[in-house]
Amino acid sequence: MPADSKTNESVSMIDNTTGKKVDFPLLTGTEGPKVIDIRTLYSGLGFFTYDPGYTSTGSTESKITYIDGDAGILRHRGYSIEELAEKSDYMETCYLLLHGELPTSAQKEDFENTITRHTMVHDQMNNFFRGFRRDAHPMAVMCGVVGAMAAFYHDSTDITDPHQRLVASHRLIAKMPTIAAMTYKYSIGQPFMYPRNDLDYAENFLYMMFAVPCEAYKVNPVLSKAMDRIFILHADHEQNASTSTVRLAGSTGANPFACIAAGIASLWGPAHGGANEAVLAMLGKIGTKENIPAFIQKVKDKEEMLMGFGHRVYKNYDPRAKIMARTCHEVLSELNIKNEPLLDMAIEMEQIALNDKYFVDRKLYPNVDFYSGIILKAMGIPVSMFTVLFAVARTVGWIAQWSELIADPAQKIGRPRQLYTGAAPRNYAPLHLRK
C-alpha cells in the first residue's frame, strides 16, 4: 500500500459484547470514495466481514482504470473512454493500459511491429484445434486453446522474469484474434487464414474471419474502424468478474496463459460477457415491437431479465453504451441497412425502459452489451462469436492487471474467508447404523 494513500482519518469498530474497540485507517486514492483498511480486523477483533458478490470490498490497489458508476465515468490511466474511442486506436490503448502512458510515435511503431510479428500461432496448434468437435461453442474452444498456450510457449511462463512476462503479454494480445478467427473457421469447415502483416489489428481480424484462400478479400475501412472502436470499448473495466478471476488465478503464481484462460471462462457467463449473445436471443424471442410491453411486464414480474441492462457499478448510462449506439448507426448506414428490426426493437425497448419507474427506481440503464450484438450481427459476425470478440478485446486489460499484480510487492495469494453455516461437529456413524 503506497504511503500517499494513508490519511490521518480512521473508522472505529466496537464489539458491543466485549466493549473492545479497534481503529481502522482510512485510505484515499486519486479519485473515488475513501477506503477502510480492515486488514487488522481479524487480529484486532476476531471477526471476518461478510460481503457476497464483493459489493463493498476492494480486492486490490490499481493504477489502470477508474470508474465512477454514479456519474457514468470510465477512464484508462486518466484518459476518458470517450476521448480514447474518438481519438485513439486499439494498439495505442493497449500500450497505454500496459505501460501507463500513451506511446511516442517511435514507441507506437515498435509496439505495433512487435504485436504484428507475434500474430501467427505455433503450427502444431492447427492439429490441436482438430481435436474439437466442429459444433463446439467457440468460447469452449477459446478456453482450451488459450490454456494450452502454456504448452506451446513454455519460454514465456516464468513469471519471475519481467522480460518473459512482457513477451507473454505481447503473445496473448497478438495471437487472440488469430485463435478467435480459427475457432470460427473451424466451426464452418473453412481453412484457417494466416494473419497478414500489412494489415492493422482490426483489419487483420476481419480478414482472418472472412477471407478465403481462393480469392482476394478487401477489408471495408468503415467496418475495421468500427471493430477497432469496439475493441477499445472492451479493453479494460477495472475489477470486474473476469479480471478478478485472472487476478485470483495469478495470485497463486499460475502462468499467464492459464490465468487468461480462467478469465475467458469467467467472461462466458450471461451476467458478464455472455450478455451480448443473450441480448440477441432476447430480441429474437420478443420477435416484434408489439410484444415489447408484454415482455417488459414479465421483467417487472421477475419472470425475465432485460439483458444488456443493469450493471454492478454503473447506476447511470454506461458511457461505452452511448458510443456503441453511435457506432451501431454508422455501421448500419455503411452497410446500407435501412430497416433493421432488431435495432428498431432495441431503440424502442431502451426508450420504454428509460422512462419506466421500475427501471428508473433501480437505476437500470443500457450497458455496453445492449448495442454491440446488433453491430456485430450486421457485420456478419455469428452470434456464438460475440463473447469471443469481447475476450479478444479484454485480453489486454486482463494481462495489464495481471502484470500489475505480479509486479506488486504487497501481493498475496487471494483467499476469501466464509460464514460457515453447515453442520456442527458430530461423530462418524458406521454404515450399518445409518438410517
Tell me which residues are annotated as active site. Answer: 311, 369
> β-strand 73-76 against 65-68: which pairing, if any?
antiparallel
All cell numbers assigned to 290: 408489439
CB of 336 to ligand ACO, least distance (A): 29
Our finding on whether 205 is near ligand ACO (CB under 6 A) is: no
Distance in angstroms (rounded) separating the CA atoms of residues 80 and 146: 30
Instruction: Name which position in 138, 250, 308, 397 contacts ligand ACO (CB under 6 A).
Output: 308
Distance in angstroms (rounded) separating the CA atoms of residues 373 and 365: 16
Tell me the chain's radius of gyration from C-alpha atoms. 24
- HSE, side-chain direction, 13 A CA sphere, residue 348: 17
All cell numbers assigned to 94: 493497449
CB of 56 to ligand ACO, least distance (A): 12
Our finding on whether 67 is near ligand ACO (CB under 6 A) is: no
Our finding on whether 354 is near ligand ACO (CB under 6 A) is: no
CB of 327 to ligand ACO, least distance (A): 16
Task: Please report which residue ranges of 58-137 form alpha helices under DSSP H.
Answer: 81-87, 90-99, 105-116, 124-129
Our finding on whether 388 is near ligand ACO (CB under 6 A) is: no
CB of 183 to ligand ACO, least distance (A): 20
Our finding on whether 166 is near ligand ACO (CB under 6 A) is: no
Our finding on whether 373 is near ligand ACO (CB under 6 A) is: no
Instruction: Name which position in 67, 173, 275, 385 contacts ligand ACO (CB under 6 A).
Output: 275
All cell numbers assigned to 426: 458430530
CB of 420 to ligand ACO, least distance (A): 24
Instruction: Name which position in 21, 289, 362, 417 contacts ligand ACO (CB under 6 A).
Output: 362
- HSE, side-chain direction, 13 A CA sphere, residue 277: 21
Distance in angstroms (rounded) separating the CA atoms of residues 221 and 388: 22
Q: Mark the segment that binds ligand ACO (CB under 6 A) among 115-123, 137-145, 280-288, 305-313.
A: 305-313
The C-alpha cell 453442520 sits at 423
Our finding on whether 309 is near ligand ACO (CB under 6 A) is: yes
C-beta closer to ligand ACO: residue 205 or 386? 386
CB of 24 to ligand ACO, least distance (A): 26
Residue among 47, 45, 54, 52 at smallest CA distance from 18: 45
Our finding on whether 310 is near ligand ACO (CB under 6 A) is: yes
Our finding on whether 259 is near ligand ACO (CB under 6 A) is: no
Our finding on whether 235 is near ligand ACO (CB under 6 A) is: no
C-beta closer to ligand ACO: residue 390 or 402? 390
C-beta closer to ligand ACO: residue 48 or 358? 358
DSSP letters, 101-114, are: SPPPHHHHHHHHHH
Sign of torsion over alpha carbons 87, 90, 94, 97 = positive
Taking CB atoms, the residue at the shortest distance from ligand ACO is 310
CB of 176 to ligand ACO, least distance (A): 17
Our finding on whether 311 is near ligand ACO (CB under 6 A) is: yes
Instruction: Name which position in 283, 299, 332, 375 contacts ligand ACO (CB under 6 A).
Output: 299
Rounded to 10 degrees, what is the CA torsion of 195, 200, 202, 203? -70
Task: Please report which residue ranges of 234-313 form alpha helices under DSSP H.
Answer: 241-250, 256-267, 275-286, 292-300
Our finding on whether 312 is near ligand ACO (CB under 6 A) is: yes
Our finding on whether 92 is near ligand ACO (CB under 6 A) is: no
Distance in angstroms (rounded) separating the CA atoms of residues 180 and 417: 37
Q: Given phi > 0 = left and psi -120 to 50 = alpha, else beta, which region is 53?
A: left
- Residues interacting with ligand ACO, by CB under 6 A? 271-273, 275, 299, 305-312, 362, 364, 367-369
